[in-house]
Structure 1
Amino acid sequence: MTAWGIEARARLDVQGRRLECACYGPPPGDAPTLVLLHEGLGCVDLWRDVPERLAAETGLGVFAYSRQGYGRSDPVTRPRPLDYMEREARDVLAAVMDAAGLQDVILLGHSDGASIAAAYAGSVSDRRVRGLVLIAPHFFVEAQGFEAIRAAGRDFATGDLRARLARYHDDVVGAFHGWHDAWTDPGFATWSIADAIDHWRVPVLAIQGREDAYGSLAQIEEISTRIYAPFEELILDHCGHAPHLEQPDQTIAAIAAFCARLVRLERADVAVA
């Protein structure tokens, strides 16, 4: 169990691995919990002040963790399998939520984390999950995403990306190449988790910037054409791959409004005929 409190930091033992985590706002049992799933090069600290702001503006608990191989969590063995996001969803996420003592949750993922949340909601029957917030999700591979990742590889090799990331990851080489080498593997070109959308049965909010170098609005259109659950979208002009950092006020306001609607629905009395 984590020590829950404002900016409480802890390490979770999950399946024999130590994972860095942080929690904010009310503990499970007092309110639902937003579970933050970071991007392919992210970790707890790279959410910046977003967890604190979300806790303050939603009144919900917020739980963030660094997946294995990221931040201060235990390192991961490389190469990562090409279905590493589906494996995180299928084999790890529920165990993390169990270890943290989470009850009712809203999964909030960014980029790879959004894909993990999407895969979880589409493949795992978990009544704790009340909604999804997907920021810049990936459901399939696009050419522009390949080029952006290759550019990041060049920056890591010859630019300052490695030094910048090293401030946040104990194993910066493992963190970077675990992500980069999977996405640029020729076998990854046919990767798709779009069929997960067909199985969602909870409300969903998707947020994307129009200038996202890693994915186009086709990712959001995939949701709108397939989803059977309530769906909202926020498309931000003059915004790239990280709306929560580039346009935090609009992004957090939209998330807070979505969460408030979910909580009202959960608490509403349902008339019985």
Structure 2
Amino acid sequence: MSAASTPEDFRIATRHGHVLARRWQPPPARAPAAPIVLLHDSLGCIALWRDFPALLAQSTGRAVIAYDRPGFGQSEPRSDRLPADFVAREAVEAFAAVREQLGLEDFIVFGHSVGGGMAVHCAARYPKACRALITESAQAFVEERTREGIRQAQAAFADPGERARLQRHHGDRTDWVLDAWIGTWLSPRFADFSLRDVLPQVRCPALVLHGSEDEYGSEAHPRLIAGHLGGPAQVHILPGTGHVPHRECPQQVLGLVTDFLAGQAPTPALPQRGEGVTRIGSARAD
């Protein structure tokens, strides 16, 4: 299989300063198709997707675009506090700027963790342009399991070694990045967050991925997402997998996404009380 081309970097102007965007092109023999836009998690950035975007471009034959949200990675630092509706705002702020400045007439949106919630809002905001929605480990509401996972992570980041690993990717933005996650999700002002009202506005086909052992959210999240979407949905629960399936079992995730986008995989009935959920493969990659 031919490798994807060397990625191109772009600086995109947003209301919160410039953000870094990166585009991986598929092998030149593949026909043009709607690109996939990746939305990272609460501590993420382009670099933390590792080689997944290149593999995704190679597997699907589509361009893949990832960007560092304002304040993250190599985007301009932020000093403000995230508003309680920051998940919804992504669709009309940084994502909108990336879409406009890269000339994306149509797209597929793929979000991990909180990026999954942002992806839902992007799909709802641009129904004519969004060809498909993919969520991975998305949180649909604030669950005690999510809060407990964040509290455990907060204690872990008190270790200078753990903090230093994060700092390699976020530099002097690290304190802001941690507070944007921990401070926001544990705040009472964010307690009412939910995707329930926006989900019916999503009409495109959706692929909903979730690990059975996700430390930041139970299977209630993919069930709520699939059960309230306005369009058809496939749900896959990955056995023995935690919060980052694209890192823990990348070949399974690539296969599911590629088949979904190619229209090869059948659409199962929406899961009801534990039924209709597809559990695939073995647990984790070594």
Same fold (TM over 0.5): yes
Distance 1:14 1:78 in 2: 15
Number of aligned pairs?
257
Within a 5 Å distance, the mapping from 1:53-202 to structure 2 comes to: 53-122=55-124, 124-170=125-171, 171-202=173-204
What is the Cα-based RMSD across aligned positions, in Å?
A: 1.9
Aligned residue among 220, 223, 230 for 1:221: 223
Q: TM-score, normalised by structure 2?
A: 0.85
What is aligned with 2:12?
12
TM-aligned CA distance change 1:159 to 1:217, over 3 Å: farther
Write the distance in 1 (CA, Å) between the matches of 2:181 and 2:80. 10
Seen in structure 2, the aligned counterparts of structure 1 residues 19 and 107 have a Cα distance that, compared at 3 Å, is same
Q: 2:254 aligns with which of 252, 255, 259?
A: 252
Aligned counterparts of 2:12 and 2:78: Cα–Cα separation in 1? 16
SS in 1 for 2:92: helix
In structure 1, runs of 5+ residues without a counterpart are: 263-273
Normalised to the residue count of structure 1, the TM-score between the two structures is 0.89
Q: Secondary structure at the match of 1:36?
A: strand
Amino acid at match of 2:22: A
Question: Does residue 239 of structure 1 match 2:241?
Answer: yes
Residue equivalent to 2:269? none
Deviation at 1:126, TM superposition (A): 4.4
Higher normalized helix content (fraction of residues)? 1
Deviations, residues 64-99 of structure 1 (Å, cap 9, x unaligned): 000001000011223211211111123331221111
Structure 2 counterpart of 1:204: 206
Is this contact kept in 2: 1:79–1:181, CA < 8 A?
A: no
- Which range is displaced more, 64-73 or 98-107? 98-107
If asked which structure has higher relative contact order (CA below 8 Å, sep 6+), I would say 1
5+ residue gaps in structure 2? 265-286
Q: Which amino acid aligns with 1:20?
A: L
Runs of at least 4 residues off by over 3 Å: none
**8 Å CA contact retained: 1:14, 1:99:** no
Which segment drifts farther, 145-154 or 11-20? 11-20
The percent of aligned pairs where both chains have the same amino acid is 36
